[in-house]
Amino acid sequence: MNGAGGRQEVFEFRTWGGKRAGSGRKPRLRADRPPHRRVRKRPPLTAREPVHVVIRVVGEVGRLRRRKAYQAIRRALLTALVRGLIRVVHVSIQGRHIHLLVEAGDERALARGMQGLQISAARHLNAAVAVERGLPRPRRGQVFTDRYHAEIIDTPRRARHALGYVLNNWRRHREDVAGAAQRRAAVDPYSSGIAFDGWRDHATPFAFPRDYQPLPVAVPRSWLLTDGWRRHGPLDLREVPGPRH
């Protein structure tokens, strides 16, 4: 196009050439949303292999070896038994964590069953905390610290070690000398040891209060927890478990 004085004017039409590098709203990391971490896939599991599971609670929940926390976990175990996704064969409640010996059909059933158990336990524990602290409604917030830790038991020796570690774990943490009532008990009152038939001394009396309600557990079905572990000898009531292998 010619303008005044014969000078040619060129009109440039700007077009959108696509998204530019670095344009747009910058991503912002929320304080309550930690960076994504790659979660390791659970190893395959069969019904022949029991699992030693450990779950831990946050500090705000308090010590688990108290009456209301015991009842909360007991209700969660009852719920797990009814649902039937997992079979909790033995359990012991320690100060900040819980040990369980679990049987499941496969790794998916284990994951779903443990998820349900933790949800139920969290709900009952939050309600217990509210009652103890005089809160108008159940506590809200995280109860368990992270994913549960699971160790597959695949030999009779490991089965025997796991049974001793779970049922006598209170002696490892010196909970057996924490109070007069516990010192009188031959087995941990916060465990399923009273239902175990593999103690070396069957004649030792179990000194529990008359209103004691044992933790509900399932009868084992896997050979490793019924007969296999017995190849390495019965459990001693005073046995103190060592480090985990």
* Per-residue CA distances from 103 to 79, 93, 134 (Å): 16, 18, 38
Please give the biggest Cα pair distance in the chain: 120
Q: What is the chain's mean pLDDT, rounded? A: 85
How many CA atoms within 13 Å lie on the side-chain side of 235? 28
Assess whether pLDDT exceeds 60 at residue 59: yes
Among the listed residues 124, 72, 116, the one whose alpha carbon sits nearest the alpha carbon of residue 93: 72
CB within 8 Å of 209: residues ≥ 6 apart:
181
**What pLDDT does 153 receive?**
98
- Residue 137: φ, ψ to 5°: -145, 160
Q: What is d(CA 217, CA 233) in angstroms, rounded to the nearest whole number?
A: 23
DSSP H helical ranges for the chain = 67-83, 107-133, 156-167, 169-172, 180-184, 223-226
What's the token pair of residue 100?
A: 């369980």
Element housing 53 (H / E): strand 51-56
d(CA 61, CA 198): 33
pLDDT digits (tens, 9 = 90+) for 2-47: 555 555 555 454 555 555 566 666 555 454 444 545 556 777 999 9
At a CB cut-off of 8 Å and minimum separation 6, what does 59 contact?
96
Looking at residue 27, its pLDDT comes to 54
The highest-level CATH class for domain 51-232 is alpha beta
| Percent with pLDDT over 70 in the chain | 78
pLDDT digits (tens, 9 = 90+) for 200-212: 876 555 667 788 8
- Which pLDDT value is given to residue 201? 76
Q: Give CA–CA dist 52/97, Å, rounded.
A: 13
Structure-block tokens of residue 195 = 């239902």
**Neighbouring residues of 107: CB distance < 8 A, sequence distance ≥ 6:** 42, 43, 44, 45
Instruction: Provide the whole-model pTM.
Output: 0.79
